Structure 1
Amino acid sequence: MHTDTERCVRAVQSKDARFDGWFYTAVLTTRIYCRPSCPVVPPKPENMTFYPSAAACQQAGFRACKRCRPDTSPGSPEWNQRADVVARAMRLIGDGVVDREGVPGLATRLGYSTRQIERQLLAELGAGPLALARAQRAQTARLLIETTPVPMAEIAFAAGFSSIRTFNDTVREVFALSPSELRARVPKNRANSTSTPGVLTLRLPFRAPLNPDNLFGHLVATAVPGVEEWHDGAYRRTLRLPYGHGVVALTPKPDHIGCRLTLSDMRDLPVAISRCRRMLDLDADPVAVDDQLRTDPLLAPLVDKAPGRRVPRTVDEAEFAVRAVLGQQVSTAAARTHAARLVTAHGEAVDDPEGGLTHLFPSTEALAALDPEALAMPATRRATLTTLVHQLAEQTLHLGVESDWEETRARLLALPGFGPWTVDVIAMRALGDPDAFLPTDLGVRRAAQGLGLASTPAALTAHAAAWRPWRAYAVQYLWATDNHPINFLPGEPR
């Protein structure tokens, strides 16, 4: 979008927050870059230039605006609605792969050479993988500086910098302030809001509107005891992270999601934030989604009644796939019971002084090592589960953010016991395909029939072609017609 100068200028002049994260405005006279909704008086059009990423702005010598804080914009919706190599690379960079494995590790995961990855990212985003990872490190550093009392030396390494000098130089270059000056600017009433080691409180932005009912309702209704819970108005769960583990509490607010993170290793902060944003689908563009779905006169009333529905996803793709198998042909309650047994027997214990969480969901390695006969389920489903976890543990099947959606679908369908419903629910909620569709799902068919649509899978698929590429969101609106717990926040009247 950044190449459409006229459209970008209009968005900046109208301070349109819908475009935050889509592009960045760099002001040639001040050498500052902003989000489109920056509250300051817009510069003259001839003094504006536009970039597709914060990293590209920084590479061009612009510093972040101190008023609108463009580095805290929601992420571009492009990276979660596409499955090409650039989108997959951006999801991996957000998951911290470059910091942990370098650019060669990023390229290996994607099956390309480092030169190909660098060339494609530079062409579309104006910055290579190292610059994009650097921009993420700068944002992580800012978060830690402003929300914790952690010493600067510890922040430098927690944010992923190789040295304190690099940390100091980057912060000065990006924000035009030293780390200590950044901390001094934080208002006293919100500076260092907690002194508990490893605990951070922050706000996760999103593009409005956001309807929290099905988003949190689904997560809570299907929550695995010990791993997830609804406590004091927040969805809480344990997190398995690259350097350790964590607990997150996510609270829906009118203009943001409140996020309280407890981490055993602060280096996991950017990964934890990225996975929570992905689980809650916070980088979606709800206006574009809803406008497309409203073109169907039968679906339009559902969208108008409660716009901004998101697709509830996951923080752990392998975990979700295991849970999808456990939920085959059983009720939600039975699926939770099966999962809770696995957690108690094979999950890693964690401490949770603030709630009732007790375990991490078992790793695929732990599940692959268990005795299949110990699984209290039909033999066919037991074979399905054991085949899945062995392939995940041996890495012959990948379900990470780098997955090619169509290739992964084909691999899943080749496994015993995997039919279209299981594959598409994994595609929707684990892989993040915004066009995944469930024409055989009972709830979807019942809702379609209630709207006057033909409810056979073939007829429903044909009608749903008009909803593309947002059929996963259409499923959320169809599910919402049912009086099921997944559609309501706990304690909300029905």
Structure 2
Amino acid sequence: MQNGMHTETERCVRAVQSKDARFDGWFFTAVLTTRIYCRPSCPVVPPKPENMTFYPSAAACQQAGFRACKRCRPDTSPGSPEWNRRADLVARAMRLIGDGIVDREGVPGLATRLGYSTRQIERQLLAELGAGPLALARAQRAQTARLLIETTPLPMAEIAFAAGFSSIRAFNDTVREVFALAPSDLRTRAPRNGANATGSNSTGTPGVLDLRLPFRAPLNPDNLFGHLVATAVPGVEEWRDGAYRRTLRLPYGHGVVALTPRPDHIGCRLTLSDLRDLTVAISRCRRMLDLDADPVAVDDQLRTDPVLAPLVDKAPGRRVPRTVDEAEFAVRAVLGQQVSTAAARTHAARLVTAHGDPVDDPEGGLTHLFPSVEALAALDPEALAMPATRRTTLTTLVTQLADGTVHVGVEGDWAETRAKLLALPGFGPWTVEVIAMRALGDPDAFPTTDLGVRYAAKELGLPSTPAALTARAADWRPWRAYAVQYLWATGTHPINFLPDRPHQPSTPQVPAKRRRQAPKDIP
């Protein structure tokens, strides 16, 4: 599937007529007779093809005068996979808009972060998405408002400002225009059984929300949650009662999230110190769990390799575990250089205890936010208990992250960031590629020097030297980061399994006596 699918009318009509949920988020169907827009999988009887028109975004539908369907709730579709597989201007802009930059800094702030003029950004977004940055941000605010209206008892005035609206009037007008209901009517009509697409009824505790995060099936949670838990930093992350929990550093405050894998969604329990951070928190959690991926496209490509095909068929839908804080992950990648997973966790935990911001967690055992790069950059290097060479690597990294010389956030250009990281002391291909894979979100990142990848390749009969494996993996592009997940899963390291499940490697054909734990440099 390529960008601009909404222009492929026949293909879109077939997807709508078959109610194919795989295309939710790829495009939106606007019905000319009812002036309503839907997701492709809408359960109502499909309209006649001549009454359908297609748009690339919910914002474009709204801008054209269509209102959201009350049945399929198109504003709650999974996000388009395009923004996580591309590194061009439009994709970077969409990731930043999802992170709330337009609400906090306006379109000029978006332009500054991307290094383009506001006119260039508006022109490209309009050409590709049918809506400019303000309209896209407005659609996102409307979705957040709906979520808060339907899942919390908050007064409407508080919801308006928590969702990012500048006034009660703008909030009321937008909700009426997008959903064809007044805010109070939207609350009255809200489902009371917790079955809606992204929210269930709140517990009533101030600042606590129970949500449902949708994804495109299939999703294999084993390596996704297993990786996050096996590498969890004590005090910042934990596995408790079947959920991965961690603290969040957010623009207006902080939060704690508990993420629970379910068959058809991810349960998400958010505790926020400031509700204005709701949109950003959801966006970052979705990004960490790679929930906007298109697993069918990924797996179909990897199945073309006869070596990978059995691994994919046995456990399809593997995601790439990412991060809620790109700078944090870059720091942790340095701490994990040439040491075991356990040692890396210990080093990170010491840093957290000494320099992290304390938080309260009444529902669990989390104690701190991971230290900000600004706080780490201000430290006396001698206070860091690590070898001198790694200390230099870490202090150089945090200094350049703090002053903006290096960007590993959602706005970062993947090629440019790789080049800047490689220029830092102590940064080699392994560190750069794991940061590209888990922080930058490049789906084609490929750490060929990773020992786990090399061991798996050898066991499977693939070339195990970096150059030969890179050549052999050409057919896996642009999904080599996903291929890495399938390769890692041939081992018995805890990263490959949910903590509550027995360890069953995904390649039973490999003799048990030759099995190894994944090696020391698992990121």
TM-score range, shorter chain: over 0.9
Partner Cα distance (2:458, 2:227) in 1: 22
Give the conservation status (yes or no) of the 8 Å contact 1:148–1:191: no
Indicate yes or no: 2:83 matched with 1:79. Answer: yes
For residues 111-140 of structure 1, what are the alpha-carbon distances to aligned partners after superposition, in whole Å with 9 as ceiling and x for unaligned? 110000000000000000000000000000
Give the conservation status (yes or no) of the 8 Å contact 2:341–2:521: no
Matching residue of 1:492: 521
Per-residue deviation, 1:188: 3.8
Equivalent positions of 1:92-241 (< 5 A) are: 92-190=96-194, 193-241=202-250
Per-residue deviation, 1:301: 0.4
Give the conservation status (yes or no) of the 8 Å contact 2:340–2:521: no
Partner Cα distance (1:290, 1:189) in 2: 34
Partner Cα distance (2:65, 2:257) in 1: 36
For residues 209-250 of structure 1, what are the alpha-carbon distances to aligned partners after superposition, in whole Å with 9 as ceiling and x for unaligned? 000000000000000000000011000000000000000000
Give the conservation status (yes or no) of the 8 Å contact 2:338–2:521: no
Per-residue deviation, 1:393: 1.2
Partner Cα distance (1:65, 1:233) in 2: 34
Per-residue deviation, 1:369: 1.2
Give the conservation status (yes or no) of the 8 Å contact 2:341–2:520: no
Matching residue of 2:381: 372
For residues 152-187 of structure 1, what are the alpha-carbon distances to aligned partners after superposition, in whole Å with 9 as ceiling and x for unaligned? 000000000011011011001000111111110123
Per-residue deviation, 1:398: 1.1
Partner Cα distance (1:491, 1:53) in 2: 43
For residues 456-476 of structure 1, what are the alpha-carbon distances to aligned partners after superposition, in whole Å with 9 as ceiling and x for unaligned? 111100001110000000000
Matching residue of 2:505: none
Give SS of 1:2's match.
Answer: helix
Give SS of 2:109's match.
Answer: helix
For residues 17-46 of structure 1, what are the alpha-carbon distances to aligned partners after superposition, in whole Å with 9 as ceiling and x for unaligned? 000000000000000000000000000000
Give the conservation status (yes or no) of the 8 Å contact 1:234–1:252: yes
State the TM-score, normalizing by the size of structure 1.
Answer: 0.98
Give the conservation status (yes or no) of the 8 Å contact 2:450–2:521: no
Per-residue deviation, 1:485: 0.3
Partner Cα distance (1:389, 1:438) in 2: 22
Per-residue deviation, 1:493: 21
Give the conservation status (yes or no) of the 8 Å contact 1:22–1:52: yes
Q: 1:86–1:284: structure 2 CA closer, same or farther, 3 Å change rule? A: same
Partner of residue 52 from structure 1, selected from 52, 56, 69: 56
Give the conservation status (yes or no) of the 8 Å contact 1:147–1:191: no
For residues 372-404 of structure 1, what are the alpha-carbon distances to aligned partners after superposition, in whole Å with 9 as ceiling and x for unaligned? 112121110010000001111111111110000
Out of 270-279 and 177-186, give the one that drifted further.
Answer: 177-186
Partner Cα distance (1:319, 1:492) in 2: 17
Give the conservation status (yes or no) of the 8 Å contact 1:74–1:206: yes
Q: CA RMSD in A?
A: 2.3
Per-residue deviation, 1:145: 0.4
Q: 1:191–1:472: structure 2 CA closer, same or farther, 3 Å change rule? A: closer
Give the conservation status (yes or no) of the 8 Å contact 1:92–1:401: yes
Q: 1:405–1:28: structure 2 CA closer, same or farther, 3 Å change rule? A: same
Matching residue of 1:43: 47
Give SS of 1:389's match.
Answer: helix
Partner Cα distance (1:481, 1:309) in 2: 13
Partner Cα distance (2:286, 2:193) in 1: 26
Give SS of 2:271's match.
Answer: strand
For residues 47-69 of structure 1, what are the alpha-carbon distances to aligned partners after superposition, in whole Å with 9 as ceiling and x for unaligned? 00000000000000000000000
Partner Cα distance (1:375, 1:334) in 2: 15
Q: 1:68–1:189: structure 2 CA closer, same or farther, 3 Å change rule? A: closer
**Aligned residues between the structures:** 494
Per-residue deviation, 1:491: 22
Q: 1:84–1:169: structure 2 CA closer, same or farther, 3 Å change rule? A: same
Gap regions ≥5 residues in structure 1: none
Q: 1:42–1:134: structure 2 CA closer, same or farther, 3 Å change rule? A: same
Q: 1:301–1:62: structure 2 CA closer, same or farther, 3 Å change rule? A: same
Give SS of 2:267's match.
Answer: strand
Partner Cα distance (2:372, 2:289) in 1: 22
State the TM-score, normalizing by the size of structure 2.
Answer: 0.93
Partner Cα distance (2:116, 2:446) in 1: 30
Give the conservation status (yes or no) of the 8 Å contact 2:235–2:349: yes
Partner Cα distance (1:275, 1:56) in 2: 24
Per-residue deviation, 1:195: 1.0
Give the conservation status (yes or no) of the 8 Å contact 1:346–1:362: yes
Per-residue deviation, 1:190: 4.3
Give the conservation status (yes or no) of the 8 Å contact 1:64–1:70: yes
- Structure 1 runs, 4 residues or longer, greater than 4 Å off: 189-192, 490-494
Give the conservation status (yes or no) of the 8 Å contact 1:146–1:191: no
Partner Cα distance (2:377, 2:521) in 1: 40
Give SS of 2:139's match.
Answer: helix
Partner Cα distance (1:327, 1:293) in 2: 29
Gap regions ≥5 residues in structure 2: 197-201, 499-518
The percent identity for this pair of structures is: 90
For residues 332-373 of structure 1, what are the alpha-carbon distances to aligned partners after superposition, in whole Å with 9 as ceiling and x for unaligned? 000000000000000000000000000000001111111211
Give the conservation status (yes or no) of the 8 Å contact 1:317–1:430: yes
